[in-house]
């Protein structure tokens, strides 16, 4: 057997919780990379929930992640954008309206079994906007009354945090699913933590 040189070592990756990753070096002095340093493990997204006259505007996702499900409007924050700029851009691209004000409502961390990536979703409530909702290549919009929100065709945790948003409460949460929802499959919640907070 050819001996390994001193510069060669093995990295063992293990989960400390479903949303945290730790790395330990074997064969050298104890060393740990703290959660949050490995930025490529986290993807920042936005989600705008448009509300007017006791109705909420949702979009039927026509393609990509979450296809076949009703959702708010948003997506990935691009390089060089602030989170708010990304929220404004995605809202205009997906439904053709311009938010005159964004109200930060919550932050949710989504993750999936057997996938170390975390989706950090910044959720905004939009009550003041210009323009009329129009269908795009991504989304088909429709207004729903608060007592007729189609939760059975949405992500399973939506009914929990949307109640916070409609009650003007700030919230944070961590959600672990088995795998993403699509038109044929509704994701199962493995673990859920959701709480009201005083600031974001």
Region 10-38 average pLDDT: 37
> Could you tell me if residue 13 is inside a domain?
no
Cβ-in-10-Å burial (0-12, 13-18, 19+) of 116 comes to middle
**CATH, residue 119:** 3.90.79.10
The contacts of residue 30 (CB under 8 Å, 6+ apart) are: 24
Q: Which two tokens stand for residue 143?
A: 């207004």
Give the domain extent around 97.
Answer: 40-197
Write down the pLDDT at residue 65.
Answer: 87
Write down the pLDDT at residue 44.
Answer: 97
> Could you tell me if residue 29 is inside a domain?
no
Cα–Cα dist 96/192, whole Å = 33
What is the per-residue pLDDT across 51-103, written as a single tens digit (0 to 9) for each? 999 999 999 999 988 899 999 999 999 999 999 999 999 999 999 999 999 99
Cα–Cα dist 189/167, whole Å = 23
Closest CA to 175 of 126, 118, 125, 131: 118
For the chain, the domain total comes to 1
- Of the two residues 134 and 30, the one the predictor is more confident about is 134
């Amino acid at each position: 057997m050819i001996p390994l040189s001193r510069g060669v070592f093995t990295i063992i990756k293990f989960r400390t919780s479903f949303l945290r990753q730790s790395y330990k070096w074997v064969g050298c002095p104890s060393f740990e990379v703290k959660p949050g340093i490995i930025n490529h493990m986290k993807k920042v997204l936005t989600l705008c929930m448009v509300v007017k006259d006791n109705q909420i505007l949702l979009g039927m996702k026509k393609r990509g992640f979450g296809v076949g499900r009703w959702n708010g409007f948003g997506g990935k924050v691009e390089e060089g954008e602030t989170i708010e700029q990304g929220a404004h851009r995605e809202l205009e691209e997906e439904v053709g309206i311009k938010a005159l004000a964004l109200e930060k409502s919550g932050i949710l961390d989504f993750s999936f079994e057997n996938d170390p990536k975390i989706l950090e979703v910044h959720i905004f409530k939009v009550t003041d906007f210009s323009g009329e909702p129009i269908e795009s290549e991504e989304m088909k919009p429709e207004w729903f009354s608060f007592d007729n929100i189609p939760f059975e065709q949405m992500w399973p945790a939506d009914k929990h945090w949307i109640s916070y948003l409609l009650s003007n409460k700030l919230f944070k949460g961590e959600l672990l699913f088995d795998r993403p929802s699509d038109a044929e499959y509704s994701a199962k919640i493995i673990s859920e933590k959701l709480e009201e907070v005083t600031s974001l």
